[in-house]
């Protein structure tokens, strides 16, 4: 396992479309292990392979309820709507408000190549959409309603807690 370098906006690779994973071999498992370590070290909740410079349709996500590995994910159902702040490990220090579905159901392969169904609401749904966008060369900034600062996000969360 190793920490990989996260590419940032401005690097052309982030704008490219990732290709499907076809081999579920040790090289893929190494990539997924490294992506997990890289995401945890960077304190992120999701990471797409393209963000470490690998143009394959692979994602790791952990929104606090366990690691999910999504290979060749396809969204099959969405419902509702939510607006919330997003950041991205490839756009360090920036945040923006993005509109996403509130519920997302998808199918994806696991590291052994088996198709599974996954679903999520709120943060997890948003994370699914954000990471799958990366596989098509899209970053949250492309869909941003408005840019916000870290201070504004904290103030907003505090308001909700009070
Ligand atoms: Co991102």
Element (H, E) at 33: helix 26-41
* Residue 4 belongs to some domain of the structure: no
Distance 115 CA to ligand 1 centre (A): 24
Ligand 1 centre from 43 Cα, in Å?
Answer: 12
Determine, yes or no, domain membership for 2. Answer: no
Q: Is position 97 within any domain? A: yes
C-alpha dihedral, 52 to 66 to 64 to 39, nearest 10°? -10
Tens-binned pLDDT, residue by residue, of the chain (162 aa) = 699 999 999 999 999 999 999 999 999 999 999 999 999 999 999 999 999 999 999 999 999 999 999 999 999 999 999 999 999 999 999 999 999 999 999 999 999 999 999 999 999 999 999 999 999 999 999 999 999 998 888 887 776 655
Asked whether residue 3 is assigned to any structural domain, the reply reads no
**Candidates 81, 83, 119, 131; catalytic one:** 131
Q: How far is the CA of 140 from the centre of ligand 1 (A)?
A: 7
User: Which residues are paired to 56 by β-bridges?
Assistant: 19
Domain count, the chain: 1
**What's the CATH code of the domain at 54?**
3.90.45.10
- 131 catalytically annotated: yes
Domain limits for position 147: 12-161
Q: Is 5 among the domain residues?
A: no
């Amino acid at each position: 396992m190793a920490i990989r370098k996260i590419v940032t906006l401005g690097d052309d690779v982030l704008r490219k479309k990732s290709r499907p994973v076809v081999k579920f071999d040790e090289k893929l498992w190494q990539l997924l292990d490294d992506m997990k370590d890289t995401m945890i070290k960077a304190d992120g909740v999701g990471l797409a392979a393209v963000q470490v410079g690998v143009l394959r349709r692979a994602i790791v996500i952990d929104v606090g309820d366990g690691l999910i590995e999504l290979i060749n994910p396809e969204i099959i159902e969405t419902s509702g709507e939510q607006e919330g702040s997003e950041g991205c490990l490839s756009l360090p220090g920036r945040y923006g408000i993005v509109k996403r579905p509130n519920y997302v159901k998808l199918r994806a392969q696991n590291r052994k190549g088996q198709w599974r169904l996954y679903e999520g609401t709120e943060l997890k749904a948003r994370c699914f959409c954000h990471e799958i966008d990366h596989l098509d060369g899209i970053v949250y900034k492309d869909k941003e309603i408005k840019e916000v600062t870290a201070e504004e996000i904290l103030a907003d969360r505090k308001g909700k807690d009070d």
